[in-house]
Amino acid sequence: MGLAKSGFAVAKLLNKMNSDVTVVDSNPLEGNKEAKELMDQGFKVITGSNDASLVDESFDYVVKNPGIFYSNELIQHAEELNIPVITEPEIAYSFSDAHMVGVTGTNGKTTVTTLIKLMLEHSPKFKNSFYAGNIGIPISEVIQKASKDDVVVTELSSFQLEGTIDLHPHVAVLNNIYSTHLDFHKTRANYIKAKMHITKNQTKDDYFIVNWNEEEWRQLAKDSKAQIVPFSDNQVLDHGAYVKNNEIYYDKEFVLNIDAIKIPGEHNVQNALAAINVAKLFDVKNEDIINILTSFKGVKHRIQFVDEFNGRRFYNDSKATNIEATTVALEAFGDKPLTLIAGGLDRGNGFDELVEPLKKVKNIILYGETADKMVDAAQKANITNIIKVSNLAEAVPEAYRQSDKGDVVLLSPAAASWDQFDTFEQRGDQFIEEVEGLKGEA
């Protein structure tokens, strides 16, 4: 139910494994490339509807696109019929012999997933290291390439994890938990419960890597049967990765100075610590860990350096789809003068939590459904230069005009992209294109 990249991939995997697959996608057939391709391959495909009558007792499972709400009438009807409603990771890993490392958290998942994948390329325990999942690569594609001698590092969102039953990563990572996606999960407790699905099937032979900075997260670790490997940048630990005197240690062994880490921000120190914990479990040498952390420039759309001209440095943080992610981005630049571009889908939340972080911002350019709410937050933060525009294409040159030499121009929307874009990647790509065009004009 629901195509996009993961639905398309899991449908093909199920068919390959001799399942009888019916594909339902609410988008019309016209312009629906994935649906047409599956039809050409002989799949039963129903487009333009997700009516409850499309599912009946003859189905064993409904595989749901992670973003579809459980209030959807087809999903509700399936649950009334006691048909399990699951997501792609559950299917993909039921067919996989590869080792699995699962990564979840509110922020930093993509960076941690990428760092772990790069580090495990140097592990003597695996032939190949892959990444997949919420990072943008369907797990169903990757597990068909990965053998029992390989490892797949998988970024798992709360939307994906809620639809899992038997998913069992050998190593699970909980990077952090803040309040977000409550339009989907309704309560913070539900959100946390979905996140904790990552460890619910783990045993004493598995490992649960947990951020030890907050008491809440330490308490959550007690719900896991796995061996706990903590990490922290605010306390010295007896076991795991930690920071002491601006230096990173693992089990009291010096690894590197935090100033050597290429990507900016305190949050990226925490991301590095999480990755080091996993790398050490699989015998990656310090030399290889250091090489990764001193050369890695960050993932696309996550505080990604785009370009510098006329004294301005441009950063793409389109993956900041919530207040917490934008807060992290603003803090990453310390005292540097900031011109911020923000705005996007209105999920019904306010932005008072953003007021304090916004006090670092010199100019703010706002667009999208949340623009008026963000104007209110910017005024409370005493930002004097607040400008509203219609879209991102107008926002980028306006940000350039309002900025000065020495400024950072940062796209960090604090909102989802779906009011004007299909994905946050599409939003980030347009930002990059606008910056490139601006540079040409400048």
SS3 212: coil
pLDDT at 227: 98
pLDDT band, very low/low/confident/very high, at 302 (cuts 50, 70, 90): confident
SS3 329: helix
Q: What is the mean pLDDT of residues 330-355?
A: 94
CATH number at residue 128: 3.40.1190.10
Are 35 and 23 in contact by the 8 Å Cβ rule? The answer is: yes
Residues 312 and 289 in one domain: no
State yes or no: 265 annotated in a binding site: no
pLDDT at 180: 67
Domain count, the chain: 3
List, for residues 35-46, the tens digit of each pLDDT value.
Answer: 999 999 999 999
Residue 232's nearest CA partner among 204, 254, 209 is 209
Residues 276 and 315 in one domain: no
Write the CA distances from 187 to 183, 190, 216, integer angstroms: 8, 5, 16
pLDDT(182) > 70: no
pLDDT at 181: 66
pLDDT band, very low/low/confident/very high, at 342 (cuts 50, 70, 90): very high
More confident residue, 181 or 365: 365
pLDDT band, very low/low/confident/very high, at 170 (cuts 50, 70, 90): very high
Give the integer Cα–Cα distance in Å for 385 and 339. Answer: 10
How many helices (DSSP H) and strands (DSSP E) are in the chain? 17, 19
Query: Would you call 71 exposed, middle or buried from its count of C-beta atoms within 10 A (0-12, 13-18, 19+)?
Result: exposed
List, for residues 62-118, the tens digit of each pLDDT value.
Answer: 999 988 999 999 999 999 999 999 999 999 999 999 999 999 998 889 999 999 999
Residues 62 and 139 in one domain: no
The secondary structure element, H or E, covering residue 237 is none
- Phi/psi at 243 (nearest 5 deg)? -110, 135
pLDDT at 265: 80
Residues 68 and 114 in one domain: no
Residues 77 and 142 in one domain: no
Residues 148 and 275 in one domain: yes
State yes or no: 117 annotated in a binding site: no
List, for residues 209-257, the tens digit of each pLDDT value.
Answer: 999 999 999 999 999 999 999 999 999 999 999 999 999 999 999 999 9
pLDDT at 178: 82
CATH number at residue 79: 3.40.50.720
- Percent of the chain whose predicted confidence (pLDDT) is above 70: 99
State yes or no: 108 annotated in a binding site: yes
Residues 80 and 95 in one domain: no
Q: Is 299 left (phi over 0), alpha (psi -120 to 50) or beta?
A: beta
Residues 272 and 188 in one domain: yes
pLDDT at 442: 78
Q: What is the mean pLDDT of residues 152-167?
A: 95
Which of 86, 108, 132 terminates a domain? The answer is 86
State yes or no: 87 annotated in a binding site: no
pLDDT(133) > 90: yes
Residues 326 and 348 in one domain: yes
Give me the amino acid identity at 242.
Y
Residues 94 and 184 in one domain: yes
Give the integer Cα–Cα distance in Å for 305 and 297. Answer: 8
Are 210 and 240 in contact by the 8 Å Cβ rule? The answer is: no
Are 388 and 296 in contact by the 8 Å Cβ rule? The answer is: no
**Rg of the chain taking only CA atoms, in angstroms:** 22
Q: What is the mean pLDDT of residues 408-423?
A: 95
Instruction: Provide the domain limits for residue 72.
Output: 4-86
Give the integer Cα–Cα distance in Å for 422 and 104. Answer: 23
Give me the amino acid identity at 88.
E
Residues 221 and 77 in one domain: no
Which of 46, 63, 86 terminates a domain? The answer is 86
**Residue entry with tokens 């629906």:** 32
State yes or no: 106 annotated in a binding site: yes
Q: 31: how many CB neighbours lie within 10 A of its CB?
A: 8
pTM above 0.95, yes or no: no
SS3 content of the chain, % helix, strand, coil (to 5): 40, 20, 45
Residues 103 and 236 in one domain: yes
Which of 266, 295, 324 terminates a domain? The answer is 295
**Mean model confidence pLDDT for the chain:** 94
CA 109 centroid distance within chain: 5
